[in-house]
Amino acid sequence: MSADVSPQVRMANDIAIQFAHLPSRQAAREVAHHIKMFWDPRMRAELDRLADSPPLGMDPLALEAARILRNADAAP
**Confidence (pLDDT) at 3:** 62
Global pTM value: 0.89
**Binning pLDDT at 50, 70 and 90, where does residue 73 land?**
confident
Amino acid at 57: G
Coil, strand or helix at 57:
coil
pLDDT of 22 higher than 60: yes
Average pLDDT, stretch 59-69? Answer: 96
Task: Report d(CA 9, CA 60) in Å as an integer.
Answer: 11
DSSP 25-40: HHHHHHHHHHHHHHS-
**Confidence (pLDDT) at 58:** 95
**Confidence (pLDDT) at 5:** 84
∠ CA 28-34-38, rounded to 5°: 150
